[in-house]
Amino acid sequence: MSNAEEMYERLKKVNEPKGYFFSDNQALTMELIEGLLVNKERYGYMCCPCRLASGDRENDKDIICPCDYREQDVKEYGSCYCQLYVSKEWLENPESRRTVPERRPAEKMAWFGWPSGDA
Amino acid sequence: MEQPKVFIYALSTCGHCKNTKRLLDSHNVSYDHVDVDLLPREEMKKVLEDVRKVNPQTSFPTILIGDKTIVGYREVEIMEALGL
């Protein structure tokens, strides 16, 4: 099994009992898991592949997957921002699917204006 | 009708960014893009300033189509902006 396949199985086992499922777009799911692995290698922690990490763990801690926004987004939209985790209802009702807007406060992206910039 | 200019601010790891590129490719739309996460730090900061001007949340993908800005993989809006 590849690293991504192993991670898929591991995350599925932990998250499904909590009501968080992978989407039915298997190709997208595997791309996102590959992205998580890239970020783990790049930053040392599994940052959301759909957001730009600063590299400063403290600043990025809200977007370490599963992010702080998953619960609210899945509750409201049936899917997390990335569409990695979705609800059972989302899976059963394709017509209800919508683009999930970014809920993370804009100021969390202020790091690129930091003087040293080397977060 | 001439195709409006298309530019995508993307992340190399982001699924919605890849979906956007796939959508454009499938309609033979030509575009330029930058994977912001792969840029050297100084260049990244400059590009992020540009993204913030059109999308205060500085999120990805940010898609410029002509004079329109579309934030996120919004298929209907993208197609409308392209006149397709």
Choose among B13, B15, B60: nearest Cβ to A38.
Answer: B13
Query: What was the pLDDT predicted at B16?
Result: 96
Strands B62-65 and B6-10: antiparallel
Contact B42 A101 (CB under 8 A): no
Contacts of B48 in chain A (CB under 8 A): 52, 109, 112
Contacts of A101 in chain B (CB under 8 A): 71-72
Question: Is the CB of residue B15 less than 8 Å away from at least one CB of chain A?
Answer: yes
State how far residue A13 is from chain B, nearest Cα, in angstroms: 22
Contacts of A117 in chain B (CB under 8 A): 41-42, 45
φ/ψ (deg, to 5) at A10: -65, -45
Helical packing angle, B15-26 and A26-43, nearest 10°: 130
ipTM greater than cut 0.90 = yes
Q: pTM for the full model? A: 0.94
The pLDDT tens digits for A53-111 are 999 999 999 999 999 999 999 999 999 999 999 999 999 999 999 999 999 999 999 99
Q: Is the pLDDT of residue A2 over 80?
A: yes
**Radius of gyration in angstroms for the set of CA atoms belonging to chain B, rounded to a whole number:** 12
Contact at 8 Å (CB) between A61 and A67?
A: no
Q: What angle do CA A9, A13, A19 make, to 5 degrees?
A: 125
The pLDDT tens digits for B45-69 are 999 999 999 999 999 999 999 999 9
Contact at 8 Å (CB) between A74 and A67?
A: no
The pLDDT tens digits for A25-39 are 999 999 999 999 999
Contact B37 A52 (CB under 8 A): yes
Tokens of A119: 């977060």
Nearest chain A Cα to B35, which residue? Answer: A52
Query: What was the pLDDT predicted at B1?
Result: 66
Choose among A99, A106, A117: nearest Cβ to B73.
Answer: A99
Helix (H), strand (E), coil (C) string for chain A: CCHHHHHHHHHHHHHHHHCCEECCCHHHHHHHHHHHHHHHHHHCCCECCCCCCCCCHHHHHHHECCCCCHHHHHHHHCECCCCCEECHHHHHCHHHCCCCCCCCCHHHHHHHHCCCCCC
Calculate the average pLDDT of chain B. 96
Contact A49 B11 (CB under 8 A): yes
Contacts of B73 in chain A (CB under 8 A): 99
Helical packing angle, A26-43 and A3-15, nearest 10°: 100
Q: Is the pLDDT of residue A119 over 90?
A: no
B42 pLDDT band, cuts 50/70/90, is very high
Give the H or E element holding residue B62: strand B62-65
State how far residue A17 is from chain B, nearest Cα, in angstroms: 25
